[in-house]
Amino acid sequence: LRSLRAVGAAPGTRLACRIRPTGPLTVFRVFRPDGKRSRAHASQGKEQRLAILFLDIRGFTARTTGQLPYDVVFLLNRFFDAIVPAISGTGGSVDKYLGDGLLAVFETGNETASARAALRAVAQIGAALERFNRMLTEEGAPRLRIGVGVHLGELVLGEIGAAGHAPRTIIGETVNAASRLEAMTKEVGVEVLISDAVLEAAGIETAPLDLVTLDLRGVRAQVRALALRRATGIDALLAVPA
């Protein structure tokens, strides 16, 4: 009865609550147990195969120790103002900011388009970082260093959180793998690690490339990745037709 009242049903309305399926079907909950309407069906979660990118500023905590909070926030916002257009300009979007880093996803149609958009973003991030560091040098401030991990795989996209406070976000093993790739850049001594899944989806032949094989914490299978000392090093690969 509460469910019927919640949708303004006329008195005497009855619910058909018994069916005999004759084939495959998909169901989803329309009402919560408290009688309130559930979130839109589209927000309940969907699975897509997309490229994602993790980025982190290297040594940021040590760099900003002892600085005024205002100065720390000001530097971070300047950095993101410089870097994020490289992501949005290639069709990506920031899923979330993570203190001195971010997670971006490339929802640009099929996985080939997503992979190539992520690779273009890497190149543009590299160029944007060089411009930003030149500005810091002119100001007499130390340059920033970053680590970037790029991976492609199945993701779950949906609104996650308490009702009314549930931003759309992504979860899944692909997210963990991208995060671990970014963390591994420090150990490998490079700026960027790009998984072979991204390269292959982008139509780039991996056989001639010198890929490294990595054991990533929390990831079931080994990941082969292209290691780039600088993000701008991806430019040569982007010249290869898709």
Q: For residue range 50-73, list pLDDT tens digits in order.
A: 999 999 999 998 888 888 999 999
| Res 20 pLDDT > 90 | no
Spatial distance between the Cα atoms of 173 and 59, rounded to a whole number of angstroms: 26
Q: Is residue 60 part of a domain?
A: yes
Read off the amino acid at residue 35.
G
Residue 174 falls inside a structural domain:
yes
Instruction: Name the DSSP letter for residue 31.
Output: B
Does 24 map to a domain? no
Asked, for residue 4, whether it belongs to a domain, the answer is no
- 92 occurs within a structural domain: yes
Is residue 37 pLDDT above 50, yes or no? no
Q: Is residue 39 part of a domain?
A: no
* Each residue's pLDDT tens digit, 72-130: 999 999 999 999 999 999 999 999 999 999 999 999 889 999 999 999 999 999 999 99
Does residue 86 belong to any structural domain of this protein?
yes
20 occurs within a structural domain = no
Token readout for 209 is 């490339």
The 8-class DSSP code of residue 40 comes to P
Domain that holds residue 170: 45-238
Beta strands in 19-100 (DSSP E): 46-57, 93-97
Closest CA to 226 of 211, 216, 214, 237: 211
Could you tell me which of 172, 185, 186 has the C-alpha nearest to residue 219?
172
Domain count, the chain: 1
Amino acid at 192: V
CATH number at residue 141: 3.30.70.1230
